[in-house]
Amino acid sequence: MKQKLAFASLLIASTMLVSPEALAQVAAPTPPSVPAADPNTSAEPTQDETQDVEVSAPGFDADAGEEIVVLGRHIPDVVRATPQIVSVLSSEDIARTGEGDIAGALTRVSGMSVVGNGFVFVRGLGDRYSSSLLNGSPLPSPEPLRRTVPLDIFPTSIVGSALVQKTYSVNYPGEFGGGVINLTTLAVPKESFLQVGGSLAYDSATTNQFGYVYDGGRLDSLGYDTGERDVPDFIRAGGLTTNVFNSAQAAQLTNAETTLVLQNNNIPANWNGELSAGHSFDLGGVRLGLIASASLGNSFRTRDAIQQESDDAAGALRSDFRTVLTDNRITANGLIGLGAEFGEHRIRWTNLYIHDTLKQARMGTATVYNNNTADRVLQQNTNWFERQLIDTQLTGEFKFGDFSVDLRGSYANTKRNAPYERFFSYRFDSVRGAYVNSLNGLGESATVAFSELDENLWSGQADLSYRLPMFSTPVTVSAGYFYSDAQRTSTRLDFRYRSFDNGSIPSPASYLRPDYLLSIDSIMGACPNPTTVTAEAGCIRLFNLSNAQGAAQYDASLKINAGYAQIEGEIVKGVRATAGVRYEKGVEFVTTNSALFQGTQLDNGYWLPAATVTWNFATDMQLRAHASKTIARPQFRELAPQVYRDFESDRLFFGNPQLIDSKLLNFEGRYEWFFGRNQRFTAAGFY
């Protein structure tokens, strides 16, 4: 159970923030006289007051519903505008939820769920079948081992709308499973604003409770390393080729700051501070706008877990650990957007920065484990996962009467650095009543790993649409082209501490705590070494295991070229349909530095048709039917034969180069009854 206490929340609204033009006093026009109603005349249902919803998505036309005649006053305009199964939260809807971020607001949409730290899934289908777009362009995750982005980084004050489309249409990428979430940032704010907020949260399972921490660096509380975890030059130079590093080199690694786990009986409270602002003004015939937001948060979570493993058909346990781990998550986010509106045209330039760090300390103990000698074993981990996303995108939406052109381009860079992933395993010596680690590998070991991942994503899209004027009912044809190019390099270097002769280090050094065990004195003199060669001197060395459990390095690429054509219109009165086809070709490959762990290549092209029909058969009631074919490609991490640690599940995973693309057939039927303003009843089946 968590209790959240508001620490500070301040909304500043002042005439100082308003353009001078907006201060001019204009007399309200005199309302026209209203003729008396004829009691013998029945009034037709009128449309409720509409909301101007700002949506920036591929091929989306917010004006498409204006010429559509529907039965009922309560069907929202955005639902009128497309036959697809969509849910849209306007800025007004988002404000009414009272949530501070868009992830919380989306939980009010049926079929949406938030998992972990702000990851939003559609239809509950998980990370593999959900995707996110920002202003219609791909939004990569700051965690390159996932597909989705944590949406709790977007404050509601800068979001113009959140569109959730649960049925596939060919103007979206072919990798479509449960649905897609498209966030639209404000291009030009309707009015200037400045909002400052903060929170202090108490977690009854963690705050002021028992947990584990370790020192790290001076700015760990802000999520940035100050050099304590820099990878030594000798590892960068020889990590892929050198089998053993000598004692003098092993002694250069940062020690106590990354090895000594401390017990903390009063884990701090969680806090967060954020600021968002927006301003708009006129320059000639152009309306210009600026939005900006920044936030910084620090939170703790302690978990008490039972971790069991079995490789026996009868279910006999191979290991049975009781583990306590404390996660310290620090996030720093920023967004700056510039927008311009002139006539029916709109341009926006959006820049996003996300820095998400997880600092983890972990202790686990067991009497059932590999190489069990019936003695209790104690295992310790310290981890630092630093992830960063920099994304910039330019969008232009131009409308020339019945002809519309949308242009999008974006670049994103994601990084994931995990230096000094340290692991220690001690065995309890019942004779001496103390834990021992002789580094012999039999329940007694010490390892360290360094991993780095860097990925660049370029994407571009052009969408053209034309409303055919020769038909009595509105018919729109559209076509588009999409291109993306993702390039990734990932390196993981694993090392084990052993004595120079691969034996056991003697006591008393083997009974020392981790920072003393790997101190300079222990590394150089814990055991006698008769060599007279200076470079060979010392007791403890660093043995390279990087290619033993997978490829130490891999390069990956995914290039996609796609084109589509689509037609949308009213077939007969009350029946609308959208039908189209997309051809998408993807070339994906993974290459490794290992002769044992090979990569793979997937080169496939697909025709992906989709059709949706909506029948407005009664007042405020609709039936929808949908069918489509989509795909799901394996992610780089799923294909690459490299070990990686998922800090959420606290488990190690390994990719499988034998995976291939999945082909999906999707069908859905839905009944909708809009029985009141902002009220609906829905019954649906999805296959």
The tens digit of pLDDT for each residue in 615-643 reads 988 888 889 999 999 999 999 989 999 88
* Structure tokens belonging to residue 142: 């700051």
The larger pLDDT score, comparing residue 151 to residue 512, is at 512
The per-residue pLDDT for 8 is 41
Of 488-502, 529-543, 641-655, the one with minimum mean pLDDT is: 641-655
Three-state secondary structure of 175-224: ECCCEEEEEEECCCCCCCEEEEEEEEEEECCCCCCCEEEECCCCCHHHCC
The per-residue pLDDT for 251 is 95
Query: Which among 182, 181, 177 is positioned nearest to 666, based on CA atoms?
Result: 177
Beta-bridge partners for 122: 112
The number of folded domains in the chain is 1
Residues in the chain: 687
The per-residue pLDDT for 109 is 76
The per-residue pLDDT for 674 is 84
Is the pLDDT confidence value at 6 over 60? no
Residue 657 within any structural domain of the chain: yes
Mean pLDDT along residues 665-683: 86
Return the half-sphere exposure (C-beta side, CA atoms, 13 A cut-off) of residue 520: 4
Cα–Cα dist 70/68, whole Å: 6
* Structure tokens belonging to residue 192: 């200037």
Is the pLDDT confidence value at 288 over 50? yes
Mean pLDDT along residues 424-441: 93
Contacts of 319 (CB under 8 A, 6+ apart): 307, 308, 309, 366, 368, 369, 370
Identity of residue 118? G
Q: Predicted confidence band at 5 (pLDDT cuts at 50, 70, 90)? A: very low
Identity of residue 447? T
Cα–Cα dist 332/536, whole Å: 45
Of 63-77, 400-414, 612-626, 667-681, the one with minimum mean pLDDT is: 63-77
Three-state secondary structure of 569-637: EEEECCEEEEEEEEEEEEEEEEEECCCCCCCEEEEEEEEEEEEEEEEEEECCEEEEEEEEEEEECCCHH
State how far the alpha carbon of 91 is from the alpha carbons of 78, 101, 194, 334, 591, in Å. 13, 12, 16, 20, 45
Residue 146 within any structural domain of the chain: no
Residue listed under structure tokens 């019942």: 430
Q: Predicted confidence band at 78 (pLDDT cuts at 50, 70, 90)? A: low
Return the half-sphere exposure (C-beta side, CA atoms, 13 A cut-off) of residue 322: 4
Q: Predicted confidence band at 34 (pLDDT cuts at 50, 70, 90)? A: very low
The per-residue pLDDT for 451 is 94
Q: Predicted confidence band at 98 (pLDDT cuts at 50, 70, 90)? A: low
Is the pLDDT confidence value at 463 over 60? yes
Cα–Cα dist 31/608, whole Å: 53
Cα–Cα dist 585/174, whole Å: 10
Cα–Cα dist 671/30, whole Å: 44
Cα–Cα dist 59/417, whole Å: 37
Residue 122 within any structural domain of the chain: no
**φ and ψ at residue 649, rounded to 5 degrees:** -90, -10
Cα–Cα dist 154/139, whole Å: 13
The per-residue pLDDT for 471 is 76
Cα–Cα dist 328/325, whole Å: 10
Is the pLDDT confidence value at 41 over 50? no
Return the half-sphere exposure (C-beta side, CA atoms, 13 A cut-off) of residue 246: 9
Q: What is the pLDDT of residues 218-242, one digit of tens each?
A: 999 999 999 999 999 999 999 999 9
Contacts of 401 (CB under 8 A, 6+ apart): none
Q: Report the run of H or E that residue 500 belongs to, with start and end.
A: none
Of 41-50, 396-405, 487-496, the one with minimum mean pLDDT is: 41-50
Residue 36 within any structural domain of the chain: no
Query: Which among 328, 326, 323, 387 is positioned nearest to 359, based on CA atoms?
Result: 328
DSSP alpha helix (H) spans, 226-309: 233-238, 247-250, 256-259
* Structure tokens belonging to residue 67: 């010429």
Contacts of 260 (CB under 8 A, 6+ apart): 214, 215, 513, 514, 515
State how far the alpha carbon of 481 is from the alpha carbons of 15, 134, 156, 290, 430, in Å. 45, 18, 31, 30, 69
Mean pLDDT along residues 120-139: 80
Q: What is the pLDDT of residues 242-277, one digit of tens each?
A: 999 999 999 999 999 999 999 999 999 999 999 999
What letters, b where the CB count within 10 A reaches 16 and e where it falls short, cover 629-644? Answer: bbbbbbbbbbbbbbbb
Mean pLDDT along residues 368-379: 81
The per-residue pLDDT for 181 is 86
Residue 22 within any structural domain of the chain: no
Residue 568 within any structural domain of the chain: yes
Residue 274 sits in a domain whose CATH number is 2.40.170
Identity of residue 131? S
* Structure tokens belonging to residue 293: 């937001």
Mean pLDDT of the chain: 85
SS3 472: coil
The per-residue pLDDT for 427 is 93
The per-residue pLDDT for 79 is 61
Could you count the other beta carbons within 10 Å of the beta carbon of residue 400? 11
Residue 457 backbone zone (phi > 0: left; psi -120 to 50: alpha; other: beta): beta
**φ and ψ at residue 79, rounded to 5 degrees:** -70, -35
Cα–Cα dist 526/540, whole Å: 8
Model's pTM, two decimal places?
Answer: 0.85
Is the pLDDT confidence value at 36 over 80? no
Residue listed under structure tokens 């002809």: 403
Residue 442 within any structural domain of the chain: yes
Residue 481 within any structural domain of the chain: yes
- The answer to whether 547 and 581 are in contact (CB under 8 A) is no
The per-residue pLDDT for 315 is 83
The per-residue pLDDT for 52 is 65
Is the pLDDT confidence value at 392 over 90? yes
* Structure tokens belonging to residue 348: 């926006």
Cα–Cα dist 572/473, whole Å: 9
**Which structural domain, as residue segments, surrounds residue 586?**
200-686
SS3 687: coil
Mean pLDDT along residues 31-45: 40
Cα–Cα dist 259/516, whole Å: 9
